[in-house]
Amino acid sequence: MQVSAPLETFVQPLTALSEEEKLFQSTVRRFARDEIGPHVREMDEAGVFRKDIIRQFFELGLMGIEIPEEFGGQAGTFFQCVMAVEELSAVDPSAGVIVDVQNTIVNNAILRWANAEQKKRYLPRLAADTVSSYALSEAGSGSDAFAMSTRAEDRGDHFLLNGRKLWITNAAEAGLFLLFANAHPAAGYRGVTAFLIERDFAGFQVGKKEDKLGIRASSTCELILDNCRVPKENVMGEVGKGYKIAIETLNEGRIAIGAQMIGLARGAFEHALGYAKQRKQFGKTIGEFQGIQFQLAKMTTELEAARLLVYNAARLRDAGLPFVTEAAMAKYYSSEMAENIASKAIEIFGGVGITKDYPVEKLYRDAKIGRIYEGTSNIQLLTIAKKLLER
């Protein structure tokens, strides 16, 4: 059999970037290093993300990457969202998750499911100055997301929502919330409905802010709905179809969590590599010892494998091809890898690695959430196995 062209003309490495993507990547990397880097420790200790940096996110277009230009966005790609999350997370994973939720969860959902009027009303704000939040989880519904107790009662021209949401990212800063409540509890998950809720709606309140182990500068709060009045025009999609919006949106969001984890791991690895070249013991740098060399070799191999999984899932999504299994693989492996690399980085630093004088201690704390939010590692394994058995 003859081949009309060499294989390399058909196959491009998944990590290969176009010139436009390289420019975007370098711009975000430089911004993260110069503008976020000096404030990381201060924000972590305070548990508050600087408002001026969030304002810069908007000015750089990082909060509306996929939003069309007609609505004030950048008309970019999902892959660019993933690159932005990775680059920000290499400096501060708290920054990465703020941009992640805005782009790959809320903006993405509105672009896919909102009607023309809702897009016209909210997308320009999300591109310009309004942080958004995604509210699904509750005290009794984590992995079992549709066991939610928040209710939506139809009152003719509006719904009245009652309940509480927990562990809601970006809640302290958000002006718009994509929130899920059950409008027909007897129908189970088929009653779940998506609502676009503005912060100043009557009966809506942002409650307690959690004091967390990691990603401390990223706000995580409870939401309280006490006869919250939501106009019917703020139902996104059809009543009772919120479960579909939630599932499909999270499938994409998991790719970005994978990106957050590879960014975090890259940051930890680079710190460890730099330290190994400088720290001296027994008359030479510790990087000259084979034991350290092997650890660094394993770390960079795991990191590259995770990057390939994440980039592959993102490329599939942009191409309109099936990606659910690949997203689950990317999220599962990247989160496991990030925790491992952050731990190894501390070991390379030795005793100083557990002090706050060096950044690897924070990255290790930040890594833990990767195996938990937007679907635990066990949920990802369940998804992968289920898809395998469906073949």
Report, as residue numbers or ranges, the catalytic residues. Answer: 374
For helices 93-100 and 78-91, the axis angle rounded to 10 degrees is 160
Both tokens of residue 49? 């993300």
Q: How far is CA 229 from CA 35, 150, 202, 238, 291, in A?
A: 40, 14, 6, 18, 62
Give the closest residue to 373 by CA, choosing from 151, 170, 182, 83. 170
∠ CA 31-73-206, nearest 5°, is 80
∠ CA 306-311-314, nearest 5°, is 130
- The one-letter amino acid at 303: L
d(CA 145, CA 249): 13
d(CA 279, CA 360): 15
Largest CA distance in the chain: 79
Residue that the structure tokens 């023309």 belong to: 116
d(CA 214, CA 200): 29
Q: How far is CA 184 from CA 137, 163, 234, 240, in A?
A: 18, 14, 17, 7
DSSP string for residues in 103-165: IIIIIHHHHHH--HHHHHHHHHHHHHT--EEEE--BTTBSSSTT----EEEE-SSEEEEEEEE
Give the list of residues 6+ apart from residue 34 with CB closer than 8 angstroms, or none. none
Give the list of residues 6+ apart from residue 321 with CB closer than 8 angstroms, or none. none
Give the closest residue to 97 by CA, choosing from 52, 54, 139, 67. 54
d(CA 89, CA 103): 15
d(CA 127, CA 234): 19
Give the closest residue to 315 by CA, choosing from 113, 6, 16. 16
